[in-house]
Amino acid sequence: MVNHILASSYRTSAPRGIRNLAWGILATLLSVFWTAISALLAALFAALRMPHAVTLVSRGWGGGIIRVCGIKVHLEGLENIAGLKSYILVANHQSFFDIFALAAYLPGEPRFVAKKELLRIPVIGYALQHSGHVIIDRESGGKAIRKAIESIRAGFNICVFAEGRRFNDNRIHEFNDGGAWLAILTKLPAVPMAISGSGALFPRGAKVVRPGGQMRMTIGRPIATTGMKSGDRTELTRKLEEAVRATFAKVV
């Protein structure tokens, strides 16, 4: 993980200019191509029931996009998850680069909570459904929980973007209680993570990447869920949101 710990100063904005626009167009095209290749490989390994190989593909996919876009990723707080076998990571969400960076640099084998609409995407949908990711369908919430438990038993860590969608306005928005609910039901620690800077790299609605920028991901201290009940999810959600807000405020 040579790209994620940097001593240089941190800025949240991405460089602008004609040269960077040309770089961004090329990087976007290469990223789309690399995503197609990676999706095919991930789907193949998923069909062969080789989830650990899917993890390696995901790391190469996310890391490849980050490198071609020239993004520097600062990852802090690894000591807070050292020794944890499994956990529920609960983070804010600014852009697709959050997913790329988590897939590439988060220790262990991360899997994401994804909306069922993603299953409609050819190849990618198949890979998501058959490699340990948790697909959310409000009409069959029990299945999502069973899938999460299966993923956890397989040794995966579940990543939840608690705001429900991407926001690139450099603010933390109200958290949904899904991540807290999942942590309580699986009796796993809930780990807050603050993500900053990625919104400037690929804003919501953008067609071209803004290359050459930086982003930061800061892992907070785990919150134990032992003894908690479903009714405690609102309080746990509040604690997670406060932890993310406090960390976010320190770096922007």
pLDDT of residue 12: 55
Q: Which two tokens stand for residue 15?
A: 């460089």
Q: Which two tokens stand for residue 181?
A: 């609910």
> Over 60: is that where the pLDDT of 47 sits?
yes
pLDDT of residue 135: 84
DSSP string, 18-59: HHHHHHHHHHHHHHHHHHHHHHHHHHHHHHTT-HHHHHHHHH
> Over 60: is that where the pLDDT of 8 sits?
no
Nearest to 22 by CA among 214, 211, 201: 211
**Helix 178-186 and helix 141-153, axial crossing angle in degrees, nearest 10:** 60
Q: Which two tokens stand for residue 188?
A: 């796993």
Helix (H, G, I), strand (E, B) or coil at 74: strand
More confident residue, 171 or 252: 171
Nearest to 94 by CA among 9, 14, 188, 36: 14
pLDDT of residue 14: 64
pLDDT of residue 117: 87
Contact 192, 220 (CB under 8 A): yes
Neighbours of 47 (CB within 10 A): 12
Four-residue CA torsion sign, 117, 132, 127, 107: positive
The whole-angstrom separation of Cα 136 and Cα 144 is 6
Q: Does domain 18-251 have CATH number 3.40.1130?
A: yes
- Whole-model pTM: value is 0.89
> Over 50: is that where the pLDDT of 168 sits?
yes
The continuous run of DSSP H or E covering 142 comes out as helix 141-153
